[in-house]
């Protein structure tokens, strides 16, 4: 995958659109400092009132701890597979990022997320007994509960029926706007997203004999 000149600013709402296998999840993992780019000329993360952090150098020097600290503090991630911890209840999953960051567990945003995403009656359950769509709603609540600066979401409503997908996406985007969260969504389908004012990038893939190359246009 080749990325030229991608700049994402605080409060942006963007969607990466592309067919299955084109590299959406891989790109999101790189943006979340989970996957190491094989080569990067410039990869900077800018914090307000501070100089930039050179992510490319952090990876080269294998500084995994600072990268993981940045991720915990600034990024919420809704993984394609949900990524909920099976040995924690729904409520514990939602509170996990707040606990890791030593934030008070009872906070207005937690109540709002539980209420808006209609999770009240599931709080004491294990994720294993929830439907896939319910798990996606818990994953969205978990990604937002510590009010991160950035939320990255990989096909966050793919398992929902079209009506529920629209309702949950609307809620998700409203919550992100309310807290001025930068929103980065990947999806194979632009249609259900197009009414939400996201900036769209296409992942264009070209295939040759033994090389697949994806670029962002």
Give the residues lining the site for Mg ion (CB under 5 A): 24-25, 80
Shortest Å, Cβ 159 to Mg ion: 13
Per DSSP bridges, beta strands 44-45 and 182-187 are: unpaired
Q: Among 13, 15, 17, 24, which residue interacts with ligand ATP (rule: CB under 6 A)?
A: 24
Is 37 near ligand ATP (CB under 6 A)?
Answer: no
For residue 139 the two structure tokens come to: 């994953």
Q: List the one residue from 20, 48, 191, 206 that touches ligand ATP (CB under 6 A).
A: 20
Q: Which is nearer to ligand ATP, 110 or 160 (CB)?
A: 160
153 binds ligand ATP (CB under 6 A): no
Residue 191 binds: one of ligand ATP, Mg ion, none (C-beta under 5 to 8 A by kind):
none
- Cβ distance to ligand ATP smaller for residue 134 or 154: 154
Return the bridge partners of 149, or none: none
72 binds, among ligand ATP, Mg ion, none (CB under 5 to 8 A by kind): none
Question: For the range 174-180, what are the long-range contacts, defined as Cβ-Cβ under 8 Å and sequence gap of 24 or more?
Answer: 175/112, 175/113, 175/116, 175/144, 176/13, 176/144, 176/151, 177/13, 179/109, 179/144, 179/147, 180/10, 180/11
List binders of ligand ATP among 173-212 (CB under 6 A): 188
Burial status of residue 102 (CB atoms within 10 A of its CB: 0-12, 13-18, 19 or more): exposed
Say if CB 184 and CB 155 are below 8 A apart. Answer: no
Contact 62, 78 (CB under 8 A): no
Residue 23 sits in the site that holds ligand ATP (CB under 6 A): yes
Within residues 61-80, the interface with ligand ATP by CB under 6 A covers: 80
The SS3 call for residue 29 is helix
**Does residue 215 touch ligand ATP according to CB under 6 A?**
no
Query: How far is 4 from 121, CA to CA, in rounded Å?
Result: 46
For the CB of residue 93, give the shortest distance to ligand ATP in the complex, in Å.
22
**Residues at the contact surface with ligand ATP, assessed by CB under 6 A:** 18, 20-26, 80, 188
């Amino acid at each position: 995958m080749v990325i030229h000149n991608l700049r994402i600013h605080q409060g942006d709402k963007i969607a990466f659109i592309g067919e299955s296998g084109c590299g959406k999840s891989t790109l999101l993992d790189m943006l979340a400092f989970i996957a190491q780019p094989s080569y990067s000329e410039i990869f900077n993360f800018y914090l307000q009132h501070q100089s930039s952090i050179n992510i490319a150098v952090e990876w080269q020097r294998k500084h995994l701890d600072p990268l993981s600290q940045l991720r915990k503090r600034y990024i919420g991630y809704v993984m394609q597979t949900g990524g909920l911890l099976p040995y924690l209840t729904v409520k514990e999953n939602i509170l996990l990022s707040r606990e890791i960051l030593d934030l008070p567990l009872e906070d207005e945003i937690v109540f709002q997320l539980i209420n808006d995403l209609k999770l009240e009656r599931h709080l004491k359950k294990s994720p294993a007994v929830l439907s896939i769509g319910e798990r996606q709603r818990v994953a969205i609540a978990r990604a937002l509960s510590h009010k991160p600066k950035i939320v990255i979401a990989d096909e966050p409503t793919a398992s929902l029926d079209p009506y529920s997908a629209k309702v949950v996406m609307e809620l998700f985007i409203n919550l992100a706007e309310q807290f001025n969260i930068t929103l980065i969504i990947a999806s194979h389908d632009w249609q259900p997203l197009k009414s939400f004012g996201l900036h769209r990038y296409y992942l264009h893939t070209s295939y040759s004999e033994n090389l697949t190359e994806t670029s962002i246009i």
